Amino acid sequence: MRKPRPAFPKGMGKAPGAWRKSVGKFWSVLFLLVPVLGVALFWWAPGAGYWLPRDISRHGHQIDHLFYFVLVLTGVVFVATEGVLFWFLWRYDSATNRDPATYMHGSHNLEVIWTILPAAILLFIAIYQMNAWADVKMRAPPGMRPTVEVTARQFEWRLRYPGPDNRFGTLDDIHHVNDLHVPVDTDILVDLKSMDVLHDFFLPHLRIKQDAVPGMNIPVWFRATEIGTYDLVCAELCGWGHYKMKGRLTVESREAYGKWLADMYAAQQATQDPQAAEDR
Amino acid sequence: MHYRWTIAAAVLAGICGCGRSVVSDPAPDEKLAEAIRKAQSGDSEAEAEAETAVATVTEWGSLTGRFVFDGQPPTPAPLAITRDEPVCGRHNLVDESLVVGPDGGLANVVVFVNTRNVPVHPDYEATANDKVTFDNEHCRFEPHILALRTSQTLVVHNSDPVSHNSNMTPLGDAPINPLLSEKGAAEHQFKRSQNAPVPVTCSIHPWMKGYVFPRDNPYVAVTDDQGRFTIENLPAADLEFQVWQERPGPLVAKPEWKRGRFKFKIAPGDNDLGEIQVSPDLLN
Amino acid sequence: MQTVAPAAAFRPFAGGLLALVLLAGCNARSEPPQFRLNMQDYLEMIPSHDPAEFRIARGEEPDVLEEKQRKIKGLEMISTVLFAAFGTPDDPYLLNEVQKGDDNENGLDLVAIERAAGPVRPGHDRSSRQRGLYRLHCAHCHGISGDGAGPTAVFLNPYPRDYRQGMFKFKSTSFTAKPTTADLKRIILEGIPGTAMPSFALLPNDEVDALVEYVKYLSIRGQTELNMAIVLLSDESEIELDRTAILDEYLMPVLEQWTAAEDAVIQPPERPATDTPQQLAASIEAGRKLFLSKDAQCAQCHGPTGLGDGWLTDTTAVPYDDWNKQKSPDDIDRWLLPRQELRPRNLRLGIYRGGRRPVDLYRRIHAGIQAAQMPGAGPGQGSEATLTPEQIWHLVDYVRSLPYADESQPKHTEITLHKPRN
């Protein structure tokens, strides 16, 4: 037995049956818009500048490849699923569908397929990405010494270079803040720390994203392949000033980097104001 | 009709959320402010008036008095000497915030003229530019309270074989904090007259506390062990005096001395306030 | 049944109204922020006064009432003068005499101040300039009035600087002098390690300059206000609403202090040679002896090992800075920020608030730290030097060596890389 429905507000203009008929189709078309607009958005975004930042790293292409691979895979599944949803909505709209509802227990075969297929895909992804993960997180180039120690702190990046003696924890360490300089085409090992809470060391152009955990020294390595200045941001909500935690990565030629280090060292050993020294 | 309640609740929430119940600061008078902004620099008659306000006085008198602690003289608490014991531990230092002499005299009460632009006796000119020494001796300040004129120069001296520093932050004047090694000295000129003695501390020896009191006139006295004070050569006129003691600040020794102040007409010659009994309750 | 439908349809409308009132109502009606009068400091600096002096109660004695009315009137005058001379947070103003111009190069730069003041207004494109810089970057800690009591201040230790007394700790100038423009800029660019002040190193240069100018503006405004308060509350005379008097007595003396700062910079004399390891070791050893000596007295506060624990041996020590020491613990409600203790620095951490260059440490020891308990050891304030420049350099060498001494840190371990498993 159908329950009696409340009358529709006046002014709808159409008889209840006709209105309900169009609403049923409306919903199915609305749901069809989701995959259509979704695909359109992804088509439009790269051209409009809303896409991954330019990759300037040695390992970045592996990450990007995985990203595109998973994007295509999930995209196909997404479009297919939405298509099926649309078809069911349209075909079995209660306003037009006169077929009586039938009771079924379910399809054992179908359930086996839709359990095994995603499991297989996930397993495949898990295996497929292992190499990239190992390259980025495990297989450090041999014999590397840390180039710079990055200590995250609310709300800045404190940097320390080992100085002329190439050892950390000595009087000639070079201290700096927020402006990370590295030489181009060189493997860089970062000793990542946090002074207070969780932060995340994120170099979007290098596809590097690593949590900084208080009490841990976490190695991060990368090789930048293009000279320029890039973003260094915190990608873990670390407090009210999280947005302030913006640094800069400067990739420069080895000569320029060496000169910058020497200048920094000289500035740090100053026994006079540079200005006053010039005045003399 | 419950939607009405919803609206009422919404309006109420709006009022409560936005209404400021904080007591606001006095608002500026914008018309006056505009007048100040537009005024030309220059004519200031008020200053000229102030200059001529100083009347010529030919007669002078002195004021004496004695403050007496009205109760059993307390035993001063010994200070905990935690630094430089070999030097500072030998002097049996005690808390000097309340010093009562053997016969009940209340020492270290400051009495000074509160009236502004008071004429100064010519005899004081001889000492107007003196150097006045505030010594660090035996890990305490000597004297405990030093009054001086702003025209005089303060010399902070160290007579101890250990370093001291003398940290003071006078109101509206430059703060100083010289570090003094053995026999070291620092000179300082105050720019501003104070209305209460300025505490002086030593961060190295935290028990040390003294006071320096720069005034623009010489009419300041500090009571001695017997509780006596004398201010010489005051102009014979109606003057307001302020009484101050370290513990309460303004010392309301008599009920009619509002905020520790009293008016007194100085007659030519000697004037005596007599004995002023100070209740121990005021000094706790 | 018929009546249910309209009510049900109306409910979302009422809810929407609620949301609308909550969201839009406040913004539409809220007043622009105003500078707060510096009552806290009046009361701290002039202890004989308490808040009740600014409130009139019923049935008060005529002379008390008269005195109170005089004071409240005085506060209105202070408020008027400050408004006339400095404007509001949204609309800063400077009298001609205080403004930087062709004939007055010591004044403040009103254009820069206007850039830093007001509500946050982003530039429309990359070329037009960000405005409201102070509220964007500073106000949540340092407060609209520069009182160091912004919304986040209470969570911080040490508290953000209250500019209004015109006291600054980390500067290149003598103990009592103001910092130079370069000093303030350096603090903004490098931050203060060991405190909540972060680095703003990546802000464009002109934005940093605007912020420095605004900090000076707030500080000069605050000190002008204090000068008037001292006259009103302590000297107990009237504030004259005369432009010349205001400038001469309250404002210009403060501006002159800022101008004079550039001449009060401490330039350390040549450092004794420490080129060879032997020379350096000798200097460090000389510094160690001085550190423990009765002359320099460093160890009394910083402890014999430099751990900043010297004060611990002493229960009578009152470790407060000038911003905190007047606050009495039994009257805690009177202050926006509860009293906070001051600690001598632990010199073995290698964290230097005022900068880590040798010249910075030299200046700390030479001039002391204003408003903190650290006295200056160099000549100045009319005193002869406690330590010679050479001795100060030895101390600098010793202090700089402390964080790297073997016993300072657990052995520094370099990070070990994950072992590849394949």
* CA-based nearest residue in chain A for residue C151: A240
Mean pLDDT of the C169-176 span: 91
| In the block, residue with structure tokens 């300059």 | C209
- With beta carbons less than 8 A apart as the criterion, state whether C236 and C178 touch: no
* Residue C343 pLDDT greater than 60, yes or no: yes
Q: Which two tokens stand for residue C152?
A: 């986040």
To the nearest whole angstrom, how far is the Cα of C416 from the nearest Cα of chain B? Answer: 46
Query: What's the pLDDT band for C8 if we cut at 50, 70, 90?
Result: very low
Burial of C402 (0-12, 13-18, 19+ CB in 10 A): buried
* Residue A222 pLDDT greater than 60, yes or no: yes
Q: Which two tokens stand for residue C210?
A: 């605007």
Higher pLDDT, C422 or C348: C348
Q: Phi and psi dihedrals of C312, rounded to 5?
A: -65, -30
Q: Is the dihedral of CA A66, A67, A72, A78 positive or negative?
A: positive
Tell me, what's the pLDDT at C326? Answer: 65
* Span C372-399, pLDDT tens digits: 888 888 876 566 778 889 999 999 999 9
Higher pLDDT, C53 or A124: A124
Tell me, what's the pLDDT at C2? Answer: 40
Q: Out of C167, C240, C384, name the one closest to residue B184 (CB).
A: C384
Closest CA to A178 of A262, A252, A246: A246
Closest CA to B218 of B196, B194, B234, B239: B234
Tell me, what's the pLDDT at B23? Answer: 45
Chain C CB within 8 Å of residue B195 CB: yes
> Under an 8 Å CB criterion, which residues of C touch A?
1-2, 4-5, 9, 137, 140, 152, 172, 182, 190-191, 193, 196, 198-199, 201-202, 265, 267-268, 270-271, 356-359, 362, 400-401, 404, 409, 412-418, 420-422
A60-91 and A16-44 helices cross at what angle (nearest 10)? 170
Mean pLDDT of the B42-61 span: 56
Instruction: Please tell me the least confidently modeled range out of A34-38, B233-237, C324-328.
Output: C324-328
Tell me, what's the pLDDT at C47? Answer: 56
Q: Out of C199, C420, C422, name the one closest to residue A156 (CB).
A: C199
Query: What's the pLDDT band for B134 if we cut at 50, 70, 90?
Result: very high
Distance of CA A229 to the CA centre of its chain: 20
| In the block, residue with structure tokens 């014991």 | B85
Q: How far is CA A257 from CA A156, A157, A173, A260, in A?
A: 22, 19, 16, 5
Residue C224 with chain B: CB contacts under 8 Å: none
Residue C297 with chain B: CB contacts under 8 Å: 162-163, 165, 179, 204
- With beta carbons less than 8 A apart as the criterion, state whether C315 and B80 touch: yes
CA B200, CA B183: separation in Å to the nearest integer?
19
* CA-based nearest residue in chain A for residue C358: A271
- CB–CB contact A240 C152 (8 Å): yes
- With beta carbons less than 8 A apart as the criterion, state whether C168 and C161 touch: yes
Query: DSSP 3-state assignment of A37?
Result: helix
Rg (CA), chain C: 27
- Per DSSP (E only), the strands in chain B are 60-69, 109-113, 131-137, 140-142, 145-149, 153-158, 164-165, 179-180, 185-188, 198-201, 209-215, 220-222, 228-235, 238-245, 249-250, 261-265, 269-278
To the nearest whole angstrom, how far is the Cα of B178 from the nearest Cα of chain C? Answer: 6
Residue C172 with chain A: CB contacts under 8 Å: 273
Chain C CB within 8 Å of residue B172 CB: yes
To the nearest whole angstrom, how far is the Cα of C293 from the nearest Cα of chain A? Answer: 24
CA dihedral C386, C387, C388, C393 (to 10 degrees): -150
Tell me, what's the pLDDT at B19? Answer: 40
Summary mean pLDDT of chain C: 82
Query: DSSP 3-state assignment of C8?
Result: helix
Is the reported ipTM for this assembly greater than 0.85? no
* Span C348-375, pLDDT tens digits: 998 999 999 999 999 999 998 988 888 8
To the nearest whole angstrom, how far is the Cα of C254 from the nearest Cα of chain B? Answer: 11
Q: Report the side by side order of strands in the sheet with A208-212.
A: A179-183, A246-252, A228-234, A199-203, A208-212
* CA-based nearest residue in chain C for residue B79: C316
Tell me, what's the pLDDT at A98? Answer: 77
Q: Is the dihedral of CA C16, C18, C21, C23 positive or negative?
A: negative
* CA-based nearest residue in chain A for residue C421: A138
* CA-based nearest residue in chain C for residue B82: C314
Rounded to the nearest 5 degrees, what angle is found at the Cα of C158, between the Cα atoms of C143 and B84? 145
Higher pLDDT, C314 or A209: A209
Q: Out of A146, A155, A179, name the one closest to residue C202 (CB).
A: A179
Chain C CB within 8 Å of residue B51 CB: no
Instruction: Please tell me the least confidently modeled range out of A210-219, B38-47, C60-69, C238-247.
Output: B38-47
* Span A57-103, pLDDT tens digits: 988 999 999 999 999 999 999 999 999 999 988 888 877 777 788 88
Tell me, what's the pLDDT at C420? Answer: 53
Neighbours of chain B (3+ CB pairs under 8 A): C
* Span A237-260, pLDDT tens digits: 999 889 889 999 999 999 999 999
Tell me, what's the pLDDT at C18? Answer: 52
What is this structure's pTM? 0.80
Mean pLDDT of the C253-279 span: 89
Rounded to the nearest 5 degrees, what angle is found at the Cα of B82, between the Cα atoms of B79 and B88? 70
Query: DSSP 3-state assignment of B131?
Result: strand
* Span C9-26, pLDDT tens digits: 444 455 555 555 555 544
CA B120, CA C333: separation in Å to the nearest integer?
44
Q: Out of C176, C383, C387, name the one closest to residue B187 (CB).
A: C383
Tell me, what's the pLDDT at C6? Answer: 42
Q: What are the counts of helices (DSSP H) followed by strands (DSSP E) for chain B?
A: 4, 17
* Span B112-123, pLDDT tens digits: 998 878 888 988
Chain B CB within 8 Å of residue C60 CB: no
Q: Which two tokens stand for residue C60?
A: 């008060």
B in contact with A (at least 3 C-beta pairs within 8 A): no
Q: Which two tokens stand for residue C34?
A: 């105003």
DSSP letter for A247, please.
Answer: E
Closest CA to C293 of C164, C219, C395: C395
Tell me, what's the pLDDT at C9? Answer: 43
Residues 6+ apart with CB under 8 A from B163: B179, B180, B181, B182, B184, B204, C294, C295, C296, C297, C386
User: Which residues in chain C (26-45) have CB-CB distances under 8 A to chain B?
Assistant: 26, 29-30, 34, 36-37, 39, 45
DSSP letter for B134, please.
Answer: E
Chain C CB within 8 Å of residue B117 CB: no
Tell me, what's the pLDDT at A224? Answer: 95
To the nearest whole angstrom, how far is the Cα of C84 from the nearest Cα of chain B? Answer: 4
Instruction: Please tell me the least confidently modeled range out of A202-206, A217-221, B92-96, C72-76.
Output: C72-76
Summary mean pLDDT of chain B: 83
CA B35, CA B37: separation in Å to the nearest integer?
5
Residue C268 with chain A: CB contacts under 8 Å: 271-272
Tell me, what's the pLDDT at B177? Answer: 85
* Span B150-163, pLDDT tens digits: 999 999 999 999 88
* Residue B229 pLDDT greater than 70, yes or no: yes
Q: Out of C415, C421, C422, name the one closest to residue A146 (CB).
A: C415
Query: DSSP 3-state assignment of B148?
Result: strand
Q: Is the dihedral of CA B95, B100, B101, B103 positive or negative?
A: negative
Chain C CB within 8 Å of residue B169 CB: yes
Distance of CA A69 to the CA centre of its chain: 15
- With beta carbons less than 8 A apart as the criterion, state whether C338 and B107 touch: no
Query: What's the pLDDT band for B1 if we cut at 50, 70, 90?
Result: very low
- With beta carbons less than 8 A apart as the criterion, state whether B278 and B260 touch: no
- CB–CB contact B46 C370 (8 Å): no
- CB–CB contact B28 C237 (8 Å): no
- CB–CB contact C386 B36 (8 Å): no
Chain C CB within 8 Å of residue B80 CB: yes
Mean pLDDT of the A185-201 span: 94
Query: DSSP 3-state assignment of A153?
Result: strand
Residue C246 with chain B: CB contacts under 8 Å: 36
Chain C CB within 8 Å of residue B39 CB: yes
